[in-house]
Structure formats: structure tokens, C-alpha cells
């Protein structure tokens, strides 16, 4: 089983270094170009099914990538981490080493705990491994979610620091699963 993971194309907030969270914003012109480049790469790979976050930026990215009309399933378990009180804030106002540390116990207001993000993403991955074990899957998602996916396959760093993990816009990562 092959699982390909990509992040949505660039948004204006990505350029401005503003936290998107679950906001429903679209990709910009560069994001469209990035999605077209990802489409060209992915078109050379056999993909049976696409799972996509239902947020606007991932849906638009998927529409560009999915030129072969591969079946798509939208799944809320792969939406971005809810950044609560930090929605719309510049990244510079948040200490990423705390915000993205799996071991940190800071209780931010309405921010989804990393353990909860991982729980929903791990549940999603367990399910697709079981239901679609003989398929090649593409997941179109977000940076925070891609951090959880990376840790699912590669393990959580000993120090819990996830700040340097995750995919860039439209970067593609492949995970092979042997059953």
C-alpha cells in the first residue's frame, strides 16, 4: 500500500506568516501553480482514491490535482489543528517550540491539544490502512496534519518538538506500508 501526502497550495496568510487554523481561505496564484506542479508529479503515479480535508484551500488544491477524476472522500479528521486564540495571529507572536511540542502541557484558550490532533489523524490512518490496504491513496491536507501523519509513520521525536516537521505547500511525501 502506498500513501501519498501533500499539503494545500500557498495562501496569502502563508506569505504573511499568519496562522490559518480551520479558517476557510483559498489558495493564491502561487498556490495554484504549486498545485499544477504537484498534479504533474502525481499524474505519473497510480492513485486509486483521494482523501481530502474539506477546507477551501485543500478542496481547491484537490480540484487542480485531480485531473483524472479519481474518487474523492472528504474527511474532517484531516483538517488543520484548531489554533483557537491564535487564529489570524502572526506566527511571530507564538512560540512554535511550545505550540508544536507534543510533550508541552500549556493550556491555550480553545487551541486543539496536539494529542487530540494526533488521536483523530491516527484514527483516520488506522481506518484507511484497514479498509484500503490494497490501494494507493493520496491525502490532501495541512501542515499540522502532515506533522501528525509523519509522526504516525516515523515516530514522535524524543523531545516532542514538532516545529520543524510537516510539509511545505504542495510538497509530496510517500509512505509505503507492507502488510
Residue 121 contacts residue 150 (beta carbons within 8 Å): no
Residue 142 contacts residue 169 (beta carbons within 8 Å): no
Quote the pLDDT of residue 105.
84
The pLDDT tens digits for 127-162 are 999 999 999 999 999 999 999 999 999 999 999 999
Domain extent for 153: 2-176
- What lies within 8 Å, CB to CB, of 90 at 6+ separation is 16, 17, 18, 19
3-state class percentages of the chain: helix first, strand second, coil last, to nearest 5: 40, 15, 45
Residue 67 contacts residue 155 (beta carbons within 8 Å): no
Number of domain units in the chain: 1
Nearest 5°: phi and psi at 175?
A: -125, 125
Q: How do strand 49-52 and strand 2-7 relate by DSSP bridges? A: unpaired
Alpha carbons 106 and 159: distance in angstroms, whole number: 16
The pLDDT tens digits for 85-131 are 899 999 998 888 889 999 988 878 889 999 999 999 999 999 999 99
Q: Which helix (H) or strand (E) holds 95?
A: none
Please report, for residues 74, 83, 101, 163, the alpha-carbon distance to residue 159 in angstroms, rounded to integers and kept in the order given: 33, 22, 8, 11
Residue 58 contacts residue 8 (beta carbons within 8 Å): yes
The pLDDT tens digits for 27-70 are 999 999 999 999 999 999 999 999 999 999 999 999 999 999 99
Alpha carbons 63 and 169: distance in angstroms, whole number: 15
179 has a pLDDT exceeding 80: no
Give the CATH number, domain containing residue 11. Answer: 3.40.50.1240
Amino acid at each position: 500500500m502506498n500513501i501519498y501526502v501533500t499539503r494545500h497550495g500557498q495562501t496569502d496568510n502563508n506569505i504573511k506568516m499568519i496562522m490559518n487554523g480551520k479558517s476557510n481561505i483559498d489558495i493564491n496564484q502561487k498556490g495554484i501553480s504549486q498545485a499544477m506542479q504537484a498534479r504533474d508529479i502525481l499524474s505519473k503515479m497510480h492513485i486509486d482514491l483521494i482523501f481530502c480535508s474539506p477546507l477551501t484551500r485543500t478542496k481547491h488544491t484537490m480540484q487542480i490535482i485531480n485531473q483524472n477524476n479519481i474518487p474523492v472522500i472528504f474527511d474532517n479528521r484531516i483538517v488543520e489543528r484548531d489554533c483557537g486564540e491564535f487564529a489570524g495571529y502572526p506566527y511571530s507572536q507564538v512560540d512554535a517550540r511550545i505550540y508544536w511540542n507534543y510533550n508541552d502541557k500549556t493550556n491555550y484558550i480553545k487551541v486543539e491539544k496536539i494529542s487530540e490532533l494526533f488521536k483523530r489523524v491516527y484514527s483516520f490512518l488506522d481506518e484507511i490502512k484497514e479498509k484500503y490496504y490494497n490501494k494507493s491513496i493520496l491525502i490532501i491536507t495541512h501542515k499540522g496534519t502532515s506533522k501528525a501523519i509523519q509522526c504516525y509513520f516515523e515516530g514522535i521525536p524524543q523531545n516532542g518538538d514538532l516545529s520543524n516537521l510537516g510539509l511545505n505547500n504542495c510538497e509530496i511525501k510517500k509512505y509505503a506500508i507492507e502488510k
